[in-house]
Each structure stands twice: as C-alpha cells, then as structure tokens.
Structure 1
Amino acid sequence: MTPREVAALLAYIVRLDPRMALDDETAAADRLAQWCDLLSDVPATAHGWDAARVARDYIARNPYRIQPADISRPWHAHKADMLSRHVGTFEPTAHPHLDPDDIDGYRAALAADRAAVATGQQPPTTHRAITAGPAAEQVERRLAALGSYIPRHVDDVLSQYRPQRAARLAAIRAGQPDALAVACTWCGAPVGQPCRIRRIHPKSGAMRTRPMTQPHPCRIEAARAQEAQQ
C-alpha cells in the first residue's frame, strides 16, 4: 500500500474503533510510518482481497486493538493460497503473439503471470479454468475432428499391434454397438476385455485361453440391447 492508502485505512480503522485515535501529532506520524513500513508489500485491494474488509472483520471479532500484522498475515495467507491453486498455464487468448519456440519469452510470460497472481492482479489459473474457458471449446472442436485424443491416422498405424482394439474401433466407427461395454455370457470375458476362445493341448490335455479379435455374437446382441435401453 502507498502512504496515502495506509492513511486512508487508518482513518477507516479509527472510525470503527475510536480507541485507535491519537491526539498527539508526533505519535500519529510515528504510527503512520510504522504501518507504511509493515504494509508496504500488502495491496489495498486485489483479486479476492480487500484490506479494509479484513480490518473491519478483525475489529468486529476481536476485543484487542488491531495491529499491522493482523492485516499482513491474512494477505500472505491469501497470496499463498492463490499461488498454490495456480497451475501456470495460459489461456489461448492471454498471449496470442507468444511464439512456442521462444523459450526465454515463454519463461518470461510464465514469470509475469505468476507475479500477477502473487500480487492479486489476476486470479489463479486452475484446472477448472483450463477445461471451462476458451480452451475447452478448442478441445471440443479438435476431438470432433479427430474422434479421440489419439488422431485416427495414429490409431491406424498402431492397429497392427493392437488387433482387438482395432476391431473394436472399426465396429464403433461403422455405427455398431461397443460389444466390450458389456460382459460376454458365452466365454465369461469381463467388461473391457476381449472375448476368449479355449484351446486344449492334444497331448497333455492342458486347457488355456486365447483372446479373440472379434466378440461373440451373443455379446454384440447384448451390447445392442443395452444401447437401446439407454
């Protein structure tokens, strides 16, 4: 706070608590100098902060005379809370001319954003802000174009290494129900797992299972029935 802001705050405090009034000008000047020194790093108003409101709440709840620390401590607690909720990411419209390849510029912008949050000039950017602001609309448009967080052309390249997943995606893209959304009543495969086929060793008789690329027909029908109910 500036000396003018501190003087205005002290005048407000004296109006709420007449015990803080001083008749001696020298004592009043000393008090003003002390409060200016201790509140030099505390803003009068900021995002979610008002020094006058803090002083009023203290006077209303405490029988003791207010001290500069009774305003300074709440501010530093408020500042720490804002910084702990700030994730250090940018809204797309916050820095439209920032070059992603400009490492020094990016770091400077991060530092400036953090300083703005620390001084109460702007609210912290939380995870909710990332998924609820202009970025969310951009993400929705990208997902509508790509179909998932993994681009389709990447899924196509990986399909040879993931035949069960590739078959599942192909069925969904073709408008068929997601068979793996229900359990299979034929082989007992749980939700999310591919159907299994039993194999018996011709000599030892040992039995084991092997995952199938395509689900059993009864599972597809069960998924279609569940989709119709929803």
Structure 2
Amino acid sequence: MSKKQIVRWVIAVLCILFVPVCGSPISVVLLLGAAITVAPVEAIQQHLKKPLNIIIPVVFFVAAVMAAPNTTSQKTEEPAPTAAPEATATPEPTPEITATPEPTEEPLQESSDSTDNSDMKFFAAIVEYAASQSYAEDKYKVEYDDSGITLSVWGDNLAMGAALASSGDENAKQEWESNVVDPFVELNKQLVEQAKQNGLDDAVIMTNVLNDANLDNTLLSVLNGAVIYDCVSDS
C-alpha cells in the first residue's frame, strides 16, 4: 500500500470519527460522502479523475462543517430586583459650575480585510493540498494575497515540447493543446467554481505553466477560465 493510499484511509477514518460531533443529518451525510470519495477504493476512484478526487472530498468536508449546528448560546442574566428608593425631600437646586467634558474619539471600525484574508488563506490551503496530491513537492507553488490565488506548476521536458510546437511541428502542437492547454483551462475553471462556493466570488484565480528550464519564464497563463498567454500560439 502506497503512502498516498495510507493518507487517504486516515482521512476517511477521521471523517467518520467526526460524524458524532456533527448533530445535523446534512453534516453526517456530507461527512460520509467525504469519507467515501477520499477512500482509495478502486471502484470509486476509477470514476474520479485528478484533481476531482481531492477537491470533491474537501468540498464535502467543508460543507459538513458549515452545516453543523452552532450549539453555543449566550445566556443573559436577569437583573436582581432592587428595592424601591425611599421618598426623600427634594432640596432646592443650587447652581453649580460644571466642567465641560472633553470630546472623546469614537473607536475606528475594524476593516473587513482580515476576514477576507482569512477566507483566502483557507482556500489557498485547499488548493495547496489538492496540488500536493497531483504534483511532486518541488514541481508546484501556491501564492495568494487579498485579491486572489496563483497556482504555478512545471514539469520535465515541458519547455522542449513547447519549443517543438512553436517551431511548427503539428504533432507537437496537438500534444501541447490536448495535454497542457486544455487540462489547465479546465483546472482553472474548477478552482474558480470552488472559490465561489467558498464565498470568494471576486477572487482572481491564475494558473501558470512555467518553463522547467528557467522558472522565471512562463509558458502558459490562464486567468479565471481564459487563456491570457500561450507561448505557442503567441509566438
């Protein structure tokens, strides 16, 4: 059994152990769905392609946590009854000189940037985990800020294949389109959809294919479902 299969079994067991904690029937169903889709069962995994076999269980788990009922409730204490004040003679008012209170500054309202950043950080962790299941540790990187996420990947001989396609080799062009451009456009669209499901409707999602011979050069860039740079077609 490989390390990835062991990790998947562990995650599946953790999902099942988390079921008693969630009191909502919807959360239970979603957790069981996450456990089933993440388990390395051949009959299930053969119908799921990467990275869907990672993204779907993660989405199930996140949805289960969000659907779980909040059991904490705040209790307000009723004020103890106070005795009625005794009637006293009201003295005649005497004029008093009172100091004018100094104006106090109102507290500044906290910006919602911290909330947006935490949401983006959480989604970046999902993308990081999905990428780690599909690519070697030294073949990808995930970067994010308040506005969006960038996933960059590279692999052996990608630059050579791009060079052949740019030179006019028709077979190399077809392989570049079917094996690089189309899959990465689809991956980008899936990430955009997952970002919207996590409340990041305006997030900028960028996926890049880098030159494995020089990581400072980009071979392909896809932004929110559209190819904005292709070294083969733009050459």
Q: TM-score, normalised by structure 2?
A: 0.27
**Higher strand proportion (structure 1 or 2):** 2
TM-score if structure 1 supplies the norm length?
Answer: 0.28
Larger Rg: 1
By percentage of residues, which structure has more helix?
Answer: 1
